[in-house]
Amino acid sequence: MAKIVYYRSDAEDLRPFAEALEGTSHSIWSADCVLSAIELCKSETPDLVILTERSGPLDAVDFLKIKQSHEELEDLACLILSRGTIRRMTYFEHGCDSFIELPVSVEEFMLRIDAILKRSPKSTAAETSGGLSGSFEHASLVDVLQMLVAAGKNGVCNISTPTRKGTFYFKGGQVIHAVADDEEGEDAFLTILRASQQEGGFAFQSEELADIPTTIEKRTDHLLLGLASILDEESM
């Protein structure tokens, strides 16, 4: 059972989502503004917060900025519901974990909620001292990367699959270097991403990086979007 905070809206088309959430076995809290959502997140330590694009005088970006300023909220997953995609990249740049463009069915909404909860640190990874580990059976490598990016992690993530092994180096929540056999940089990043679609797992250890070359200049979320297109084309 998970803990979820959501923004309560009077919009008629959002009411079915609130009713579906409140009909689950999860613990649900509703907030009527961004500030009350922040206070609920600080007091209840939820697994997920759900916001609409406009949430009163302050909006979803304001929530993400406030969230980033509170260390105790850095691992909190955030889902944003929006009627357009204009600000989508802005949300991801500020630490949004998932985005749903409306209109969408209640069934798809609930499936997306389940997917986010499954890839949260509490359910997808076993926490060790300063680190995380898990398998790709319940969460893809993309899910793991998005989680580490959203948390702004520094450290090393080792990836192991039946055909390849590789390592990602994180600084400030961005992959700055990747190695896979004799490859490095974006080539290694794509190689590991391809291999992770098979069985395998990851082990992340938090640490401050020193003497690590920067072979990847692009933001990790931008890199993932570009590589996702490549993988989609290869699968056709």
Choosing from 94, 118, 142, the residue where a domain stops is 118
- Residue 166's pLDDT is 95
Number of structural domains the chain divides into:
2
Please give the chain's pLDDT, 236 residues, in tens: 789 999 877 778 888 999 999 899 899 999 988 889 999 999 998 999 998 876 566 888 889 989 888 888 877 889 998 887 778 888 888 888 788 888 888 888 888 888 778 766 554 444 444 567 777 776 678 878 887 887 778 899 999 998 899 999 999 889 999 999 889 999 999 999 888 876 888 888 888 888 899 999 999 988 887 776 666 666 65
Same domain, yes or no, for 175 and 111? no
Token pair for 35: 């500030």
Q: Of 77, 94, 118, which residue is a domain's last?
A: 118
CA distances from 84 to 79, 81, 100, 134, 216 (A): 14, 9, 9, 34, 30
**Paired strand residues for 131:** 128, 205
Which SS3 state, helix, strand or coil, does residue 131 take?
Answer: strand
The tens digit of pLDDT for each residue in 69-122 reads 888 887 788 999 888 777 888 888 888 878 888 888 888 888 888 877 876 655
Q: 15 and 107: one domain?
A: yes
7 lies in the same domain as 114: yes
Boundary of a domain, candidates 101, 118, 135: 118
- Cis-peptide into 103, omega within 30 deg: yes
Q: Tell me, yes or no, whether 88 and 137 share the same domain.
A: no
Which domain, by its residues, includes 167?
126-235
